Amino acid sequence: MSARKPSPIAVLLLDRFVASEALRGDLIESGAERSTAWFWHQVLAALLAQAIWSFRTTPRLTTESVLVATAMLALIGFNAVVVANLLSQLFLLNDGAWILDSGRYAGWQIYATVPLFAIAVMSGRAIGALHREHRVWAILGCGLSASTAAFVNFYLFVPSVPLQPFIPNPAQQTAVALLFAGGLFMGISSRSACEPLPSL
């Protein structure tokens, strides 16, 4: 049987969230000989086991970390949505009437979350590679990517954005932007020494 390369996303998740180096190595070694389904099953089980272990050993710290990380990503996501909304208003002011045609794929937003997350991870990896030593550029790159993604998201999935209330479906749009920001940081932290934006 020829050796297969395991999914890079699964390997990334393992490296970011599973503490045991030996377990990570064992999974990657076994993954080369087993099916993709088997590998993902093992990776998800390892992530779950790590989460349970973290909550058991340091419950307060883990809970605080999860809450702070979620709040931080939600804040960044909300900022991106606000910027995207302002951009759409700006386009309309400058005769960008095409923005009125937005929302052609309304109803498909839920299906776009997986490719959106993958794009976010790849963008994060690119930012991490380009700006390994320059935190300010990495922060600006993250902000620009998140705002662009939020704008594209508006254009594709939200009908007539500029004619709607200031932010249409704010919770839903923030959740999507939060997902993007999470993917972005996962990507950037896999390549870069930069910390994920505590100063924003």
Partner 1 sequence: MILLSILRVGDEAYGVPIAREMETTGDRTVVLSAVYTALDRLEENGLVSSSMGDPTPERGGRAKRFFRVTPTGLKAVRQTRKALTQLWAGLAQLEGGRS
- Give the helix/strand (H/E) hosting 82: helix 59-93
Q: Tell me which of 10, 13, 27, 176 binds partner 1, using CB under 8 A.
A: 27
Give the one residue of 10, 13, 42, 183 binding partner 1; rule: CB under 8 A: 42
Q: How far apart are CA 21 and CA 24, in angstroms?
A: 5
- CB-wise, 48 or 71, nearer to partner 1? 48
Residues 6-25 that bind partner 1 (CB under 8 A): 11, 18, 20-25
Residue 41 and residue 6 in contact, taking contact as beta carbons nearer than 8 Å: no
Residue (of 115, 177, 185) closest to 146 by Cα position: 177
**Window of 35-43, 62-70, 128-136, 180-188 that interacts with partner 1 by CB under 8 A:** 35-43
Amino acid at the residue 181? A
Residue 30 or 63 with smaller CB distance to partner 1: 30
CA 47 vs CA 2, 15, 195: distances in Å: 27, 10, 22
43-102 residues in contact with partner 1 (CB under 8 A) are 45-46, 48-50, 53
37 near partner 1, rule: CB under 8 A: no
Please, are residues 147 and 80 in contact by the beta-carbon 8 Å criterion?
Answer: yes
Closer to partner 1 by Cβ: residue 24 or 132? 24
Least CB distance to partner 1 at residue 46 (A): 4
> Residue 47 corresponds to which tokens in the numbers above?
């992530």
CA–CA distance, 10 with 134 (Å, rounded to integer): 28
Q: Which residues bind partner 1 (CB under 8 A)?
A: 3, 11, 18, 20-30, 32, 38, 41-42, 45-46, 48-50, 53
